[in-house]
Amino acid sequence: MRFNMVALMLLAVACVPGQRNVKFQQYYAEGEVLYQQHCANCHQADGSGLGKLYPPLAKSDFLLNDTEAVVCLIKYGVAGEMNVNGVIYNKPMPGIPTLTDLEIAEIATYIFNSWGNSRQMVEVNQVSPILEACSKAP
């Protein structure tokens, strides 16, 4: 009985194409929870943003083009003029310095792969050196 359960679990894992996919699902699910908690207030649950105040994340050219900037602004915030899909936004976004590198990777994976966005997952070992670099930026 016990053996059968293990065999069944192995079969289930084998059916998912590649380990990366299991990891992706974990990152994505955690990222969604964190997004609802920390970001949806401003950027909305569907990533559409809010008028001229908060830029959209759904199909945002900014987000799709600049992984480093996205990772850094989640932790450290951002201010000044920002062009998103041809619209200028200019309102400071507060950072969340208490988020761990893993949590930031999960959030990035979620927003990069939701609402029509389609990018690679962002792993924690990619996030750590990026954060290290932008923590030293002026």
CB of 23 to ligand HEC, least distance (A): 20
Q: Which is nearer to ligand HEC, 27 or 89 (CB)?
A: 89
Question: Would you tell me which residues interact with ligand HEC (CB under 6 A)?
Answer: 38-39, 41-43, 54-57, 60, 62-63, 70, 73-74, 78-80, 82, 84, 89-91, 93-94, 96, 107, 111
C-beta of 73 vs 105, nearer to ligand HEC = 73
Give the residues across from 78 on adjacent strands.
93
Residue 116, C-beta contacts closer than 8 angstroms, at least 6 positions apart: 58, 59
> In the complex with ligand HEC, which residue's Cβ is closer, 24 or 115?
115
Which of 16, 87 has the CB closer to ligand HEC? 87
Minimum Å distance from CB 4 to ligand HEC? 43
Least Å from the CB of residue 129 to ligand HEC: 19
